[in-house]
Amino acid sequence: MSTATLNNQSKAVVHRWSQTLIPTTREAPSDAVMPSHIFMTRAGYIRPVGSGIYNYLPLAWRSLQKISAIIREELDAAGASEMLMPALMPMELYKDTKRDQNYGDLLFQLNDRHGRATALGPTHEEVITDLMCGCLTSYKQFPLNLYQIQTKFRDEARPRAGLLRCREFIMKDAYSFHLQLDGDAGLNHTYDKMYQAYTNIFTRCGLDFSPVEAEAGPIGGSASHEFMVNCENGEDTILVCPESGYAANVEKAEIGNRPHNWDQAATSEVTKHHTPGMPGIALVAEHLGTNAAGMLKTLVMRTVEDEPKWILAVVRGDHDVNESKVRDAVGASVEMADEKESIAAGFVIGYVSPKMLDKTEVTMVIDPDAINHGSWATGADEKDHHITGFNWSRDLPSAKDKAIVADIRNAEAGDPSPRADGVSLEAKRGIEVGHIFKLGTKYSEAMGLSVLNKDQKKTPVIMGCYGIGVSRTLASCIESSHDDNGIIMPAAIAPYHVHIVTIKPNDEGVLDHAFTLAQELAESGLDVLVDDRNERPGPKFKDADLIGIPLRIIISSKAIEAGEVEFKRRTDQGKAGMVSRSEILQTCLDAIG
RNA sequence: CGGGGUGUAGCGCAGUUUGGUUAGCGCAUCUGACUGGGGGUCAGAAGGUCGGAGGUUCAAAUCCUCUCACCCCGACCA
């Protein structure tokens, strides 16, 4: 009783299986594919309502609350304050940042009874920036870091994998405000503190994760890191350098130095080929007697400026152009050019070759790997035609002077590491559970958030934002921690610490004994579930494995007579061991750590 | 948004090709008895707008048209 009464946050929790809702099933829904989805459904954690919409049943909700509690502790310790913003927001808020367009269909939109355009919040940069416009009036108020844990809505094109990609999900989002980048009050300091807080949070949740450099995406801003749970089934690809520890999302990963040489010997003449009706570079390559790596892919892009410029991005046929890298190479944001406009400007979309460099006003950026070969197949700048035998120095000598050579493609496993000579990048899969951004002044400038500084000068506010997918964290935990029999929950976020299984609960004293023990454990701060159902032992053990509570105590009349109980960790194989009744509390406390 | 697939009891499925008793099976559920250490046995019971609408027919789960929902792959995606 002592510890519990001293710190009033823990009230003894003992739940009876028979009086809560844990609808386990023997078989998984046929459409579930991912282990976390299958087991969370079978173990009675979640039930679907619609595509990407789930009920969180008591077990899931208890875990989510524990994850939330860890987040709160770490963020409060890092100097952030919790608040709550509405999920419902007027579309007008998005006007200045144009995210109603940038987010597009991802934004859930609705009209209220007056016909006012309204959205369900996918994230809250605009709401909080708008709030701060009215609250932040002095430089003395900085820095400030606010967060909320809330349901978010995104109309995903393809919800999938249970809780891993939902249309309605639980997220922690935090926003920090600064007047400078450096120093104790600066963005960089808070960013580092949040990075550390995230590391603490995911470590405490018992996850195997990696922080990686990331692309800022439509949120915008400069630096950005993602926290990835290492998991084969993950949607994201990350590239790591085994030597230097460099790790980055595939969208962001730099590629180490790749020498290039324009003066490759030509091995054949330029020949034109008729290649009608061949969708995809692989088909064309096959027809031309080569493969994708023997072709040049030339993408027509435009800069996003008041007076857009044409950009030709050239990569090897088997590589993918990375828009952000093109942006960095040309010094302006770029987007894929509109097909009609491109055609009007003379680009034969689908058959564009680098030779357009000499035919029109265009900036060409080229990846080194697209240079180092003497004989390329590429488009013929003519509908339904390709050429083979293209040689840079012979057929387009101007490229050497005019083209920008830069890393503009997505990195792949085997590419040289950008941080260690002679070392190759390795590919791993991950699930993104956290993402932090240095936003800079993107939102504050768009929405007019500024204050007077000490020198009475108007200064735009510098922002950071920091997200954690709370429901996704739970799913990713199960995704990486389960066996054939079910979930293996880490103690820190398990719905209960201890699962007491009663054998023959109708026998004299068994239930009483179970509840007395449960109460004792609970008063020492452990959360306890008692399986009091009048079931045979088999199904109860199966269910216990399935829901994955870390510690199991088995109570039977036999053991009671011997003054013992049986004790087993979820991770233990085989039969449970005997522990004397007087020592079981300490055994549990030690096991939970 | 493109491609593929599936909708029959709470869950998993058969039946649809070739229209024809009262739409079946396993698990789960309820009652009773026997049981009791890794998804029991026996006996009984309950549970269905066959996703929906329209059509063809003497007759539709089955054929036709439309539609809705869900899943998978891809595109997309803090």
pLDDT tens digits, one per residue of A301-359:
887 777 788 888 888 888 888 888 888 787 777 777 777 777 777 777 778 888 887 88
- In this structure, is the dihedral angle defined by the CA atoms of residues A281, A282, A286 and A289, taken in order, positive or negative? positive
pLDDT at position A410 is 87
CA A530 to CA A515: how far, in whole Å? Answer: 7
Q: Is A41 exposed, middle or buried (0-12, 13-18, 19+ CB in 10 A)?
A: buried
Q: Over pLDDT 70: what percentage of chain A?
A: 97
Strand B closer than 7 A to residue A156 Cβ: yes
Give the pLDDT confidence of A30-44 residue by residue, as tens digits: 778 889 999 999 999
Q: With bands split at pLDDT 50, 70 and 90, how would you rate the model's confidence at A4?
A: very low
- Cis omega before residue A143 (within 30°)? yes
Instruction: Give the nearest nucleotide to A436, CA to C1'.
Output: B78
Please name the residue whose C-alpha is nearest to the C1' of nucleotide B71: A31
pLDDT at position A309 is 83
φ, ψ (nearest 5 deg) of residue A173: -125, 135
Task: Report domain extents, chain A.
Answer: 61-252+427-478, 271-405, 496-592
Does the pLDDT at position A194 exceed 70?
Answer: yes
Residues whose CB falls within 8 Å of the CB of residue A483, separated by 6 or more in sequence, listed in order: none
Instruction: Give the nearest nucleotide to A559, CA to C1'.
Output: B37
CA of A539 to C1' of B43 (A): 23
Strand B closer than 7 A to residue A95 Cβ: no
pLDDT at position A390 is 85
Please name the residue whose C-alpha is nearest to the C1' of nucleotide B35: A536
CA A554 to CA A222: how far, in whole Å? Answer: 55
Does the pLDDT at position A6 exceed 60?
Answer: no
Confirm if A248 and A427 have CB atoms less than 8 A apart. Answer: no
β-pairing, A564-569 vs A577-580, is antiparallel
Q: Which residue has the tokens 């506010």?
A: A461
CA A378 to CA A385: how far, in whole Å? Answer: 9
Strand B closer than 7 A to residue A339 Cβ: no
Residues whose CB falls within 8 Å of the CB of residue A198, separated by 6 or more in sequence, listed in order: A211, A227, A434, A436, A466, A468
**To 10 degrees, what angle do helices A584-592 and A510-523 make?**
50
Does the pLDDT at position A248 exceed 60?
Answer: yes
CA of A111 to C1' of B70 (A): 27
CA of A157 to C1' of B67 (A): 21
Name the CATH superfamily, with its identifier, for domain A271-405.
Answer: YbaK/aminoacyl-tRNA synthetase-associated domain (3.90.960.10)
CA A380 to CA A272: how far, in whole Å? Answer: 7
Instruction: Give the nearest nucleotide to A29, CA to C1'.
Output: B11
Q: Rounded to an integer, what is the distance from CA A102 to the centroid of its chain? A: 19
In this predicted complex, what is the ipTM?
0.90
Strand B closer than 7 A to residue A503 Cβ: yes
CA dist A499 → A17, A56, A60, A132 (Å): 10, 20, 16, 47
Q: With bands split at pLDDT 50, 70 and 90, how would you rate the model's confidence at A217?
A: low
Strand B closer than 7 A to residue A572 Cβ: no
Strand B closer than 7 A to residue A484 Cβ: no
Strand B closer than 7 A to residue A576 Cβ: yes
Does the pLDDT at position A116 exceed 60?
Answer: yes
Task: Please state which CATH number belongs to domain A61-252+427-478.
Answer: 3.30.930.10
Give the pLDDT confidence of A560-580 residue by residue, as tens digits: 999 999 999 999 988 889 999
Give the pLDDT confidence of A165-185 residue by residue, as tens digits: 999 999 999 999 999 999 999
Strand B closer than 7 A to residue A97 Cβ: no
Q: What architecture is domain A496-592?
A: 3-Layer(aba) Sandwich (3.40)
Instruction: Give the nearest nucleotide to A172, CA to C1'.
Output: B78
Residues 548-567 of A with CB under 7 A from strand B: 554, 556, 558-559, 566
